Amino acid sequence: MNASNCFKAQNAAGDIPIILISGDDYSSWHQEQESVTKNWLIQNAFKPDAGSWSLLPGEDGGISACILIYDDLDLWTIAALPSHLPEAVYRVHGLNNEDQLYRLALGWGLGCYRFNRYLSSDQDVMLPTLLIESDTLRDKIIAQIDSIGLVRDLVNTPAQDMMPQHLSAAAQSLAERFDGQFTEILDEELLEQNYPAIHAVGRASVHRPRLLELQWGEADAPRLTLVGKGVCFDSGGLDLKPASAMRLMKKDMGGAAHALGLAQMIMAHKLPVRLHVLIPAVENAVSANAFRPGDVLQSRKGLSIEIDNTDAEGRLVLCDALTRAAEASPDLLIDFATLTGAARVALGTEVPAFFTQNNNLATELQEYASDWNDMVWRLPLHEDYRTQIKSKIADIVNSSKEPFGGAITAALFLESFVEEDQDWIHFDLMAWNLRDRPGRPEGGEAMGILGLFAMLQERYA
């Protein structure tokens, strides 16, 4: 998807107004209308509930306007419209400022998203477009939507076409587009350069494991490091997942997709940071040379890791990447991962969990997230649970025997690989919508990065 197709700068042929009416104002608005409009709405049994909308007929039988009833003017207010309105150019009326237009247009653009790569028809469906006259505003909106579109596309793409080499190509083309540097450490080089855990998890796949690295920005700017779990397919390894749990595991590179999508936002907006993106990209496959339950792996940090369950692979690839990230002492380190089912049990699939030791950072993030209708929720790095990941034969074990608190023990595992004084945020997220909502179709989804980006803009601007 190319978000620039969802918007127009100007339109000589005239545009159709989208008239926003608050639910409370509807009856007085209705009173003031010509009888043709009044009757149309009555005959159509129009109910002025928040989110309801209707086209209005013009005298010549054309469309004179689209009315939409709202409760709050936010990101999702007009997100349903692009998939329903006939192809034409539309303009939002009744807004007070550019910020409102920005938020509504963002929702519009997200509502234009289609994943049609594998459809033989639907390639050329023409969508309605929204008029945004200001070039700078339009560019800003398009950059955000394209970044979220990138996350969705990467996650939606089946594992057959989104293996480590494909993720690598995506990271490389992103680096080239913004004049960044791309490098990768491939297969045996992972062992030579001391990334033993990444190699162990990925070694059973014909799609060779790698650590992708993207750098961008001025050398003297504060370093911001993003790490994303890039498990391109998670079969569970030898502790194989049951079919129902494996069904969606093409999305297990969702963390990597988030890191790349947020990186794109940051680079498109030229945020004054020295950006460092690290993505361990592997397939957790089954083969004769797969790592096993009971094995003890080495890690870059020097901690030995007993494998209790090969399905707890995300934390293994992340620990080497986090160690590498922390070696450069970034100003802020953020990781994204579809790490545990337990985080979904705790918060459901639509609210990402985040962890940080820094209370101010947590409060700030929560505030920006709620301002952007992009809910995230903090879970504690509760030290008392660390006993659950103690091993008798190694420094740490990769999964707890207890069925409770799995998102927390996974986060504590990662914390062992981050320096104590390092500002760090860990996201455990779903990266997938199980249901359709306006602007948020079923399938791959960016979660938490709109709020996070707003926070980063404030922190570094």
C-beta closer to ligand BES: residue 182 or 427: 427
Find the shortest distance in angstroms from Cβ 377 to Zn ion: 21
Output 69 or 317, the one with its CB closest to Zn ion. Answer: 317
Rounded CA-CA distance 283/115 in Å is 23
Does 231 sit near Zn ion (CB under 5 A)? yes
Give contact residues for ligand BES (rule: CB under 6 A).
Answer: 234, 252, 309, 311-314, 338-342, 344, 399, 406, 430
For the record, the structure tokens of 451 come out as 């709020």
Query: Is 392 known to be catalytic?
Result: no
CB of 243 to ligand BES, least distance (A): 13
Task: Pick the closer one to ligand BES by CB: 431 or 455.
Answer: 431
Size of the site for Zn ion (CB under 5 A): 6
Q: What are the counts of helices (DSSP H) followed by strands (DSSP E) for the chain?
A: 14, 20
Whose CA is closest to 307, among 411, 395, 230? 395
Residue 251 known to be catalytic: no
The interface with Zn ion within residues 76-135 (CB under 5 A) comprises none
Q: Is 238 in the site for Zn ion (CB under 5 A)?
A: no
Q: How far is the CB of 239 from ligand BES (least distance, A)?
A: 7
- Specify whether the CB–CB gap between 82 and 114 falls below 8 A: no
Kindly state the smallest distance separating residue 166's Cβ from ligand BES, in Å: 19
Closest listed residue to residue 211, CA positions, set 167, 249, 151? 167
Catalytic residue, candidates 140, 300, 301, 315: 315
CB nearer Zn ion, residue 27 or residue 287: 287
Which member of 91, 114, 241, 378 is catalytic?
A: 241
- E-assigned strand segments in 259-406: 274-284, 296-297, 305-306, 332-337, 353-355, 377-378, 396-397
> Rule CB under 5 A: is residue 153 a binding residue for Zn ion?
no
Nearest CB to ligand BES, comparing residues 257 and 267: 257
Distance (Å, rounded) from C-alpha 146 to C-alpha 439?
A: 14
Instruction: Write down the least CB distance from residue 456 to ligand BES, Å.
Output: 25
Which residue in the block uniquely carries the two structure tokens 């545009």? 15
Q: What is the 3-state secondary structure (H, E, C) of 333-376?
A: EEEEECCCHHHHHHHCCCCCEEECCCHHHHHHHHHHHHHCCCCC
Q: Which residues contact 219 (CB under 8 A, 6 or more apart)?
A: 274
Contact region with Zn ion (CB under 5 A), list: 30-38, 74-82, 104-112, 229-237:
229-237
Helix (H) or strand (E) holding 26: helix 26-31
The single residue among 230, 261, 314, 438 that binds Zn ion, judged by CB under 5 A, is 314
**So which residues are the catalytic ones?**
241, 315
Binding residues for Zn ion, rule: CB under 5 A, are 231, 234, 252, 311, 313-314
